[in-house]
Amino acid sequence: MKNDIQEVAEGVELTDGFHLLMEALEMNGITNIYGLLGIPVTEIGRMWQARGNKFFSFRNEQNAGYAASVAGYLTKKPGVCVTVSAPGFLNGLTALANATTNCFPMILISGSSEREIVDLQQGDYEEMDQLNIARPHCKASFRINRTEDIGVAVVRAIRTALSGRPGGVYLDIPARLFSTTMSAEEGQKSLFVPVDPAPAQLPAPSAVSRAVELIKGAKKPLILLGKGAAYAQCDADIKALIEETGIPFTPMSMAKGLVSDTHPQCAAAARSMVLQESDVVVLIGARLNWLLAHGKGKTWGGAKKFVQIDIQANEIDSNVPIAAPLIGDIESCVNALRAGLKGMTKPAEWMGAIAERATGTKAKLATKLSTATPVMNYFNSLGAIRDVLKNYPDITLVNEGANTLDNARMVIDQYLPRKRVDTGTWGVMGIGMGSAVAAAVETGKPVVAICGDSAFGFSAMEYETITRYNLPVTVIIMNNGGIYRGDEANPEHQVSCMIFNPKTKYDQFSIALGGEGVRAETPEELTKALEASLKSGKPTIIDAIIDPAAGVESGRIGNLNIVSTIGKK
């Protein structure tokens, strides 16, 4: 192969693929890599660290990938994950697909086998046609074949991940390229930084006027904030739009805190009412997918019109007709709306009705949160957690599970933008520990992960990653002994497929992996343990013992669970 030939004169200083890749990443502001090392990428980790950068080494690539994707979401720069070939690549691919689904910018870099062997299927070490396997699961799948192309490939990956709708990019590097050499001077010249990789995209003036007219004519307008709005990092503009127009808003789960859950215009506690009764809904960075019942049916009540702000033009009309599409970046669209809506009459009566409903719902919830039970349930345990977390508005909350997810989302207020990371668009279990690592690393602040016991199991071994890097992460495991519930009866001579070993002690697991471990059986014990953990900043698992009968099948999405039409046979 051409690459193998050293084409430079003797005495000329050389560089190689490893160094060019690292220099290209560094030049583009990447300082943290999440990954798992082995043939052929091991040297990247060692050299990356030796150069003063951070390599966060995981126990399974899937979790490293989740960490990279969350880093991308939190920083608006692509998170980078490095894996070995075939099996490592496939583990990482789940996370790359998840990043793309969630619109998080991420780059998965995998070492791969040599083309001549893969293409003839001659059985190389960890042989796999990774480039083509990755293709349907991300925005773009690129291979680098020549050292002089590394600079352009990295830039292309960054621009693809960030521009338009953000997402995942796969970068395939055949093993031999890492050690292929070229002139250091020429190599240096081949590296560069892209100009404006996520350019502003201004909405058309006619589209803005159409949306403005619709909103001005509404009697019961509603703003619905999605995680695209949180990602956009134009928090002050969105808050200003809400306050200047007086329109109530409700957040999707990861948009909680973009404008505080305690803001007087927050309609989260009257969610079903506002979805049903509103007449014009302004979607900002939220898709009308399953999480929003596809914009139709009884969730949405009577006739209504949608204004939809999104950067991806073909998202419009994906499920129902959109009366006023606003295609552009959220910051530009929101500010264009603000200009057009200046002086608009605030929907005071509508806001008043919502506030009344929300006050009633909150009072009902407050009673549940303070009602003691012989064994903790989701409400009194989460109530205790909520009261502690009020004093720590800038911790990141990571949340996964079914009942654990749905109830924590309902009970725990968020006060600041991008402080909640959860199972996202796919409702995927296993994002917990990877997300916790990334949130702690990227924000430099403490993290609390509230995980169902099933959910935690998907990434449990990464708790060792957390203790190894001594990250300020508190993991609260809502231990009800099973998926959804822990009280399912065993069939004859078998263990139920929905339950776990009731002897499992997650506090002891933490101690075994070098962290602190506390068992909490009452809300008071939970409060004490959480406060102590947050004060100490030490990695801690709190094993919160929850009544095995407290949960419901599939949490709040039981309607999606398919059951046999003819019953058990």
Binding site for ligand OXT (CB under 6 A): 253, 268-272, 291, 361-362, 365, 401-406, 409-410, 423, 427-430, 452-455, 478, 480, 483-484, 551, 554-557
Residues 221-260 that bind ligand ADP (CB under 6 A): 226-228, 231-232, 252, 254-255
Structure tokens at 335: 């500010």
- The answer to the question of residue 28 lying near ligand ADP (CB under 6 A) is no
Question: By C-beta, is 22 or 520 nearer to ligand OXT?
Answer: 520
* Cβ atoms of 306 and 322 closer than 8 Å: yes
Q: Which of 227, 270, 232 minimizes the C-alpha distance to 251? A: 227
Sequence-ordered alpha helix ranges (H) in 392-505:
403-411, 432-443, 453-459, 462-468
Choosing from 83, 181, 435, 480, the residue that interacts with Mg ion (CB under 5 A) is: 480
Residues 49-108 that bind ligand ADP (CB under 6 A): 102-103
Question: By C-beta, is 321 or 360 nearer to ligand ADP?
Answer: 321
Q: Which of 262, 301, 552, 255 minimizes the C-alpha distance to 406? A: 552
CB of residue 402 to ligand OXT, shortest distance in Å:
3
Three-state SS across 59-101? CCHHHHHHHHHHHHHHHCCCEEEEECCHHHHHHHHHHHHHHHH
Q: Which of 201, 266, 255 minimizes the C-alpha distance to 228? A: 255
Choosing from 16, 23, 315, 462, the residue that interacts with ligand ADP (CB under 6 A) is: 315
- The answer to the question of residue 452 lying near Mg ion (CB under 5 A) is yes
- Please identify, among the stretches 144-152, 184-192, 308-316, 317-325, the one whose residues bind ligand ADP according to the rule CB under 6 A: 308-316
* Cβ atoms of 97 and 137 closer than 8 Å: yes
Site string for ligand ADP, 416-445 (x = CB under 6 A): ---------x--------------------
Choosing from 59, 146, 156, 165, the residue that interacts with ligand ADP (CB under 6 A) is: 165
Question: By C-beta, is 55 or 500 nearer to ligand OXT?
Answer: 500
Residue 421 near which of ligand ADP, Mg ion, ligand OXT, none (CB within 5-8 Å, type-dependent): none
Q: What is the rounded CA–CA span in Å between residue 11 and residue 95?
A: 44
Q: Return the bridge partners of 352, or none.
A: none
Q: What is the rounded CA–CA span in Å between residue 83 and residue 88?
A: 5
Sequence-ordered alpha helix ranges (H) in 76-204:
86-102, 115-119, 130-134, 150-162, 175-179, 184-189
- The answer to the question of residue 172 lying near Mg ion (CB under 5 A) is no
CB of residue 377 to ligand OXT, shortest distance in Å:
11
Structure tokens at 83: 């894996």
Instruction: Return residues touching ligand ADP (CB under 6 A).
Output: 102-103, 165-166, 226-228, 231-232, 252, 254-255, 285-287, 289, 291, 310-312, 315, 329-330, 425
Q: What residues line the site for Mg ion (CB under 5 A)? A: 452-454, 480
